[in-house]
Amino acid sequence: MATSPEHSTIELAPTSPDPPPSHPFDPANPDTIIRASLLADSLAPDGGYGWVIVCACSVLAFWFVGTSYSWGVLQAALVERHLSAPSTLAFIGSLTATCISLLALVNARIIRVLGARNAGLIGVALLGGGGILSGFSTGNVGGLFVTTGVIGGVGTRYVERNWLLCLLVAN
């Protein structure tokens, strides 16, 4: 009797075309990039409190930029009321912006002495106080010079400098 050779087949397990990486992160493999990104996104170093700082700094930035840039709208209303000449009222608005540049060295000294947080709190108080007080002095040019120009300008300087410091320290 003749025996026929039996053919046997061997099935191999499927293999990945890429060899396993020799180190934990392989930049050529998209799967390791996604895993590393998910791991980095899930671990916030401060528990996510940095976003609270970013939101607070954004509110402060909108506040001090908005108050100094909206002076033209207030100036138009004051000119219509014939409070003073447009050039005098324009000087009040420019005094706020001038305080930002003039007080740079003074602000640096105050931050060194008091710290960024306390100087920033002083700036917020001055900026808010200047805005509130200027609401009561809309009929007096001298009052607007003091409240909007000087108090608001000094407050803007401290807030403008310190919100950036707080944002950088938070990250």
pLDDT 10s digits, 88-105: 999 998 888 888 888 888
Tokens standing for 21?
A: 């990486």
Q: How many CA atoms lie within 13 A of 168 on its CB side?
A: 6
- Rounded (5°) CA angle 59-132-164: 30
Tokens standing for 77?
A: 């209303």
pLDDT for position 15: 57
Predicted confidence (pLDDT) at residue 164 exceeds the cutoff of 90: no
Asked if 145 and 92 touch (Cβ cutoff 8 Å), the reply is: yes
pLDDT for position 39: 74
d(CA 75, CA 73) in angstroms, rounded, equals 5
Q: Is the pTM of this model over 0.75?
A: no
Most confident of 26-35, 74-83, 161-170: 74-83
Predicted confidence (pLDDT) at residue 48 exceeds the cutoff of 90: no
pLDDT for position 60: 79
Main-chain dihedrals φ then ψ at residue 103, nearest 5 degrees: -100, 20
Asked if 157 and 123 touch (Cβ cutoff 8 Å), the reply is: yes
Cα dihedral 49, 50, 51, 56 in deg (nearest 10): 100
Contacts with 144 (C-beta within 8 Å, 6 or more apart), sequence order: 78, 89, 92, 134, 137, 138
Tens-digit pLDDT profile for residues 22-33: 556 667 777 777
pLDDT for position 160: 74
pLDDT for position 147: 92
